Structure 1
Amino acid sequence: MKIVKAQDFDLRREVEYGSPEQNEAVRKIVADIKKEGDAALLRYTEKFDGMKLEAASLRVTQEELHAAYEQVEPSFVEAISAAADNIRAFHMKQKRNSWMDLQPDGSLLGQVIRPLHRVGVYVPGGKAAYPSSVLMNVIPAQVAGVPEIVMVTPPATGGKAGIDPYILVAAAEAGVNEIYRVGGAQAIAALAYGTESIAPVDKICGPGNIYVALAKREVFGAVDIDSIAGPSEIAVLADDSADPVYVAADLLSQAEHDEMASAILVTPSEQFAKACQAEVQRQLAELPRRDIAGASIEQYGAVILVGTIEEGIEVINRLAPEHFELIVDNPMGYLASIRNAGAIFLGPYSSEPVGDYFAGPNHIIPTNGTARFSSPVEVDDFIKKSSLIYYSKEALLSNGDTIMELARREGLEGHARAIEVRLLKEGKAGANDDNK
């Protein structure tokens, strides 16, 4: 984990869009699913996951969901249930309501809020299983009122025995009962276009590998997607008041996700920087996923030296990290200066895993610097809004000439006449006749 000065550190990180070969492979998979449905879905499942399935066995049964509870510890069920309660309580505060505004002239303007009808949740099964991601995708959709939520996950997340039971229990605790044992780009295509076994959805959300990300980009437009997520990131801004043991542990908590994950410490103290650097190496040697975390720290880890905390915050704003921990004296005093961060953790006890698992805010957060313009997954991601206009006769008679003026200035005579025929019918000749 190298120590560099802020002016010597390249804050840009190239976004991963896949190789030409990966993009072409994904396009073919998506096209085949769209054309052949279940036949292609089963073929690719056997090819990539090594499991030969029949269409009738794609859907996880209620018996399998019940059996999953027998394979996990009661303490896990209690923990996932408590986390679900916190996540639901947080997202309930994000709910929007339709509204209407009655005008003095009798017109009614407003906005109608409706949930999406059907949402697809992708749950990965690669280097690790993530039951917490099930909650973070499903619960905001439920709070929004989505009536149909379907989950897909690779068929062997739990080894040859099938889907990881912890994922199934998390899904059951979240209230999902439509689950299919398919993964990869083929699962994304099935959700987008539908097959004989899987009805199409309106939106797809959830993390996955590069093929899943490319498939989501390929089907965007036919359906909505949450984002094209990149590798996980954490940035910590700390001063001498912080404990290097805490900071090192938090940096490694993200580094262990993936070899491409990014873990960056920003500090005005060279002494603290060296202490954290040494502590990272000490803890890394004891970490079960040390090979993954070590590769991440080596390639994408860094300690950035700055002159002041204020300078450090500007570095953070330029990084726009997914997760940002501020461990300094009086962290609340700097909150107003933080413009770009997906999730902000204040103080020494607000460790990143608190947000990942339990506190309540969503842990699906913008990566690759996109926190400059985007937000964590929330209830608004699962609703749609319709404008409501009820225009009274009085309002049209009062404003019709103005509307026609604007339409004719844009050269759209048909628009103007749609207003004019009503004015004439009501005995008011168009005042803009000279503009025809």
Structure 2
Amino acid sequence: MSSSHPAMINIRRLDSRDTDFDRQLDELLAWESVADTQVEATVAEILQQVRERGDDAVIEYTNRFDRRELRSAADFSLSQVDLQAALERIPAAERTALEAAAGRIRDYHRHQLQESWQYREADGTVLGQQIAPMERVGIYVPGGKASYPSSVLMNAIPASVAGVDSITMVVPAPDGQLNDLVLAAAAIAGVDRVFTVGGAQAVAALACGTDSIRRVDKIVGPGNIFVAAAKRAVFGRVAIDMIAGPSEILVICDGKTDPDWIAMDLLSQAEHDQQAQSILLSPDTAFIDAVAASLEKLLGDLPRRDIAGRSLQDRGALVRVDSIEDAIAVSNRIAPEHLEVSVEAPEKYLPQIRHAGAIFLGRHTAEALGDYCAGPNHVLPTSGTARFSSPLGVYDFQKRSSIIYCSPEGADRLGRVAGTLARGEGLEAHARSAGYRVKEK
């Protein structure tokens, strides 16, 4: 396939007025999760071996899966000196871009910091909430040829802003390949330790701890099906961010934006992988036709055109709706990861949008800006989970503890209430414990 012979895309067309539109939409959105019996069995074996044998198991699996020749933990550990050396090696333009993106991400996330609070009741009882950062966090970053320095920034910077004591990064190095941009991003983002291991064995090491890799409190970051399955398996032993599905974009357009812009926005997500999903909603049929033509025209020049083409054909859609309000209703049902509202005066529609990971307002706001440098986090809920989940943020690395400090008067007043309720539940020791602080009448 070449740019002189554009790809032919058989992207599906839907219409919200069709009587079976709901069924068609359900079919479009259907996606199989990471659950896979064989994968889960493999991951369970890896987790058990890492729990029992620690670094030796990590080395064994890494040598097998990533074609390495590790002999000891020293062979997969990087120091701050190594990270700084990578930062010095990268071209000046790339360093400037990383630092600019990091600065914007840090500034945005500082606004998310939560603060402790207290209030005092009339009898002197104090109630409140104490906010504290987690102690140790692990960040998983894909490695090798598929290297994502932006992922380092988006996962590490919120943890750093939250005040996490120690940030550990694991990144696979298949065939010994390490990406300097990823290591430079780690230096800029405030990562403390880097280990060049990946896969389920890296997740297991972060969750269980080994002689070289300290156990963490939370694991965040994207990975392949084995990484996702391992994160699911260790949840409860440690916290995780989410089990992410394929990337998604939904564009609402009134038909007045350049169709090439919209087509390329759809392609920007389609090129992630064949399971990625790109959907356009518009009340303008002629505009939908124009975007379809733009997709045909623009796809042929993309290096990842085969992936993008398959994504659009298998999971993409161009949907005619009755109005922008109708489009928003459909969007709320889908709860997309990324939502572009490419219309006139988009801010007036914002209150109607209930479910979306990130909302991009206006004709000039490409979703790709959010992936790299706008400031908000690009780790977002997928597969409809934006109905109940939020973007990764500083709040994901902070814990909340309740504060209760009773005055003698407060203990008397609350003790009577608690005692009555405890006896109603048949818990006499609770009632007596509260009653010991009650004053005799």
Please give the range of the TM-score, normalised by the shorter of the 2 chains: over 0.9
The yes-or-no answer on 1:5 pairing with 2:15 is yes
Asked whether the equivalents of residues 265 and 303 of structure 1 are also in contact (C-alpha less than 8 Å), the reply is: yes
1:278: Cα distance to partner? 1.2
Asked if 1:341 is matched to 2:356, the reply is yes
Give the corresponding residue for 1:400: 415
State the distance in 1 between where 2:88 and 2:274 align: 34
Match of 1:47 among 57, 61, 64: 64
Residue 440 (structure 2) aligns with: 427
1:388 to 388, 403, 417: 403
Q: Residue 253 of structure 1 aligns with which residue?
A: 268
Q: CA-atom RMSD, angstroms?
A: 1.3
Q: Identify the range of structure 1 (187-196 vs 71-80) with the bigger mean alpha-carbon deviation.
A: 71-80
**1:34-433 equivalence runs, <5 A:** 34-53=51-70, 54-125=72-143, 128-156=146-174, 160=175, 162-423=177-438, 426-428=439-441
Q: Give the conservation status (yes or no) of the 8 Å contact 1:15–1:368.
A: no
Q: In the alignment, is the contact (CA less than 8 A) between 1:324 and 1:344 conserved in 2?
A: yes
Deviations 1:351-402 (A, max 9, x none): 0011111111001000000000000001110011110000011112233222
Q: How many Å separate the matches in 1 of 2:135 and 2:87? A: 29
Letter in 2 for 1:268: P
Distance in structure 1 (CA, Å) of the matches to 2:185 and 2:32: 31
Q: Conserved in 1, the CA contact under 8 Å of 2:144 and 2:173?
A: no
Q: The residue matched to 1:312 in structure 2 has which SS?
A: helix
For residues 325-354 of structure 1, give each alpha carbon's deviation from its aligned partner in whole angstroms, at most 9, with x where no partner exists: 011122111111110100000111110011
Q: Which amino acid aligns with 1:219?
A: V
C-alpha change, 1:293 and 1:171, in structure 2 (3 Å) is same
Q: Using the TM superposition, give the Cα deviation of residue 63 of structure 1 relative to its aligned residue in structure 2, in angstroms.
A: 4.0
Instruction: Work out whether residues 3 and 273 of structure 1, in 8 Å CA contact, stay in contact via their aligned partners in 2.
Output: no
Alpha-carbon separation, structure 2, partners of 1:299 and 1:22: 24
Higher mean alpha-carbon deviation, 55-64 vs 355-364, is at: 55-64
Distance 1:250 1:150 in 2: 34
Secondary structure of the residue that 1:384 maps to in structure 2?
A: strand
The DSSP-based 3-state class of the residue aligned with 2:242 is coil
**Percent identical residues:** 50
Cα deviation per residue 1:114-159 (whole Å; 9 max; x = unaligned)?
Answer: 1000000000126621101101111111111101000000023xxx
d(CA) in 1 for partners of 2:248, 2:60? 35
Per-residue deviation, residues 1-53 of structure 1 (Å, max 9, x unmatched):
22111343323423413321111111111111111101110010011100021
2:278 partner SS: strand
For 2:282 and 2:34, locate their aligned partners in 1 and report how far apart those are by CA, in whole Å: 32
CA contact 1:49–1:154 (8 Å) conserved in 2 = yes
Deviations 1:295-343 (A, max 9, x none): 1111111101111111111110011000000111221111111101000
Q: Distance in 2 between matches of 1:71 and 1:299?
A: 41
1:34-89 deviation per Cα after TM superposition (whole angstroms, max 9, x unaligned): 11101110010011100021221111134432332354211010011011111111
* Partner SS for 2:172: coil
Residues 240-263 of structure 1 deviation map (CA, whole Å, 9 limit, x = unaligned): 211111000100111111111001
CA distance in 1, matches of 2:25, 2:87: 48
| Stretches of structure 2 lacking an aligned partner (at least 5 in a row) | 1-10
Distance (Å, rounded) in 1 between the aligned partners of 2:414 and 2:164 = 39
Identify unmatched segments of 5+ residues in structure 1. 429-436
Please list every run of at least 4 consecutive aligned residues from structure 1 whose deviation after the TM superposition is greater than 3 angstroms.
none
TM-score normalised according to structure 2 size: 0.93
The CA distance in 2 between the partners of 1:294 and 1:347, in whole Å, is 26
Indicate the SS of the match to 1:190: helix
Q: How many residues align?
A: 423
Tell me the SS of whatever aligns to 1:10.
Answer: helix
Q: Give how far 1:234 is off.
A: 0.3
More displaced stretch, 364-373 vs 404-413: 404-413
